[in-house]
Amino acid sequence: MTVLITGGAGYIGGHAVLAFLDRGETPVVLDDLSTGSRSAIPSEVPFIFGDVGDTSLLLQIIEAHKIDAILHFAAKIVVPESIADPLAYYLNNTAKTRALLEAAVKGKVRYFVFSSTAAVYGNPNRATVNEETVPAPLSPYGMSKLMSEFMIRDVSAAYGQKHVILRYFNVAGADPKGRHGQSTANATHLIKVAIETALGRRPFMNIFGNDYPTPDGTCVRDYVHVSDLAYAHLLALDQLRLDGVSRTLNCGYGRGYSVREVVEAVRRVAGTNFEVRQAPRRPGDPASIIASNDQLVRLGWKPELHDLSVIVQHALAWEKSCVIRV
Ligand SMILES: O=c1ccn([C@@H]2O[C@H](COP(=O)(O)OP(=O)(O)O[C@H]3O[C@H](CO)[C@@H](O)[C@H](O)[C@H]3O)[C@@H](O)[C@H]2O)c(=O)[nH]1
């Protein structure tokens, strides 16, 4: 049984690679290195440079490595970018997932684990969302992932493949042992941007919107540590292999922090008071989105890194180490 990880040179996929290695399994990685880095992949891991939309390449990989499960991380993930360039998102996240599914079906891959997102829920009018909450994406990014979810369910129903769809909330942090973290190029995510500002790599940062219907007027998100998330994939795949039941699972901690609270946490952990400017709302941002994670917890998920200070500490340590690497 070998696992193929698409996007394994990237941020979340790279942490999944480490999670497998840490329990003595060696996955195979496929990545086009468009955002990921070759150096992120440990040398013992077989690496194939290529495109997830290349069905014939995928078939060769499936056969050569006897792949029984695909974990599909490779995707574009920036909400505002998806609004500016939706076709890139429907190609990369939707059309290429279809091509990958075709290869998986032809290659008789039994299990498919998909990186979906809380962005499928849009702007839910409730404190927390569970997996039955009706999806209503606000952005092409969320829609591109939701369309893939529909394809995956249809493929399972028609061809007998089994799947897990993991809907990630806001992923942040870095490997506690310092082996991997978020890449430095063109960061847009809040914790990453705040840390770069704290380290003086940006002169200031913006808070997008202060008139949302939230306690302090800034957006609320459920920040989940990337290593806890990586572990959720192993758990979900183990369960899938055990009982063959396809599932859709929220992956968040069930508690939210506002943008201001995150900025304060970064100031506290970094010990510096960087400049923050108020900016207009960013298109596509829901006011508040927090997971109900009962289903994942029932499967046995025991997150250990849920403290926001720990998430920031690990992200900060990674960011500092990146300068040493350059
Ligand atoms: O410099 C910044 C960056 C972000 N924000 C705000 O911080 C919040 C979080 O933004 P960000 O970190 O960019 O994440 P989201 O746009 O919420 O989306 C993330 O969270 C989704 C799940 O909800 C994931 O699936 C996506 O991949 C990921 O981009 C939002 O209110 C942003 O407006 C700022 O105020 N200033």
The DSSP bridge pattern shows strands 257-258 and 220-221 to be antiparallel
pLDDT tens digits, 44-65:
999 999 999 999 999 999 999 9
Query: Does residue 260 share a domain with residue 239?
Result: no
pLDDT tens digits, 71-92:
999 999 999 999 999 999 999 9
Query: Does residue 158 share a domain with residue 22?
Result: yes
Residue 180 falls within a domain, yes or no?
no
- Would you mind telling me the total number of residues written for the chain in this entry? 326
Calculate the average pLDDT of the chain. Answer: 96
Q: Is the CB of 219 under 6 A from ligand 1?
A: yes
The pLDDT value given to residue 252: 98
Query: Does residue 168 share a domain with residue 288?
Result: no
Q: What percent of the chain has pLDDT over 70?
A: 98
Residue 244 falls within a domain, yes or no?
yes
Q: Among positive and negative, which fits the CA dihedral 266, 270, 273, 274? A: negative
Query: Does residue 319 share a domain with residue 234?
Result: no
Is residue 214 pLDDT above 50, yes or no? yes
Ligand 1 center–CA 47 separation, angstroms: 30
pTM of the model as a whole? 0.96
- The CA distance from 154 to 196, in Å, is 42
pLDDT band at 10 (very low <50, low <70, confident <90, very high): very high
Least confident of 67-76, 92-101, 181-190: 181-190
Ligand 1 center–CA 223 separation, angstroms: 10
CATH of the domain at 20: 3.40.50.720
CATH of the domain at 281: 3.90.25.10
Is residue 141 among the annotated active site residues? Answer: yes
User: Residue 129 carries which DSSP code?
Assistant: B
Ligand 1 center–CA 242 separation, angstroms: 35
Quote the domain boundaries for residue 112: 2-172+223-251
Catalytic residue among 11, 141, 212, 257: 141
Q: Among positive and negative, which fits the CA dihedral 284, 264, 317, 300? A: negative
DSSP 175-227: -TTSS----STT--SHHHHHHHHHTTSSS-EEEE-S-SSSTTSS-EE-EEEHH
Q: Is the CB of 28 under 6 A from ligand 1?
A: no
**Residue 1 tokens, joined:** 């049984």
Query: Does residue 130 share a domain with residue 199?
Result: no
Is residue 325 pLDDT above 60, yes or no? no
First to last CA, the chain: 37
